[in-house]
Amino acid sequence: MFVAQLFAEDANQKPKRARLEIQLVLGFLDEDKIGTIQPHDDASVMTLRMGGYDVKRVMVDQGSGAEIMYLDLYKGLNLRPEDLTTYNSFEVSFDGKVVIPKCQIRLPVQTDLEIVKVDFIVVDAYSPYTAIVARPWLHTHGAVSSTLYQKVKYPSGGQVKEILGNQSVTRQCLVATI
């Protein structure tokens, strides 16, 4: 979408000039549903590059304010204990139980060419997911996510990029939970 903006000049200078700026629009169209099973009520589960590894079964939870890493992923990434910091709060799991976090770790998460450091709370609880990224991660990227379209869209290098969810893995996670 192109947006024209007019800038008023000083009365003694040249008349008004128009400057065109390209403004990216992040949104979803019906064709974004191609490749998804419709209708559905699946969560968004995708693969993200975390700490230099492709990590599967990462849930995007736009309703949460905390990024979570489950202990199995922490162990699987061979992270160093000296990279951990204390975390003095508690979290509530999907089943409503209080979970006492082990600690917190800052880890690079890569989307396309961008790498952002994300503070994950490490918890020792069962989950079919390996990690959860939430609003802080989405907001850092200026991203929008949609469970309906099974995508996350974000601006990068003057373009709109997208990360695709995997409904098959999402449904496997659901079965594992039940």
What CATH number has the domain bearing residue 85?
Answer: 2.40.70.10
In a domain? residue 162: yes
**120-129 residue pLDDT tens:** 999 888 889 9
Cα–Cα distance measured from residue 36 to residue 103, given in angstroms and rounded to the nearest whole number: 37
In a domain? residue 143: yes
SS3 72: helix
**What amino acid is encoded at 4 in this protein?**
A
In a domain? residue 14: no
Model-level pTM? 0.80
**63-98 residue pLDDT tens:** 898 999 998 999 899 888 888 888 877 666 656 666
**What amino acid is encoded at 60 in this protein?**
V
In a domain? residue 34: no
In a domain? residue 76: yes
Backbone Cα Rg of the chain? 20
User: How is residue 53 written in tokens?
Assistant: 């590894």
What's the structural domain count of the chain? 1
In a domain? residue 65: yes
Q: What is the pLDDT of residue 14?
A: 61
CB 104 within 8 A of CB 85: yes
In a domain? residue 122: yes
Q: How far is CA 49 from CA 16, 41, 80, 101, 163, in A?
A: 47, 25, 18, 23, 11
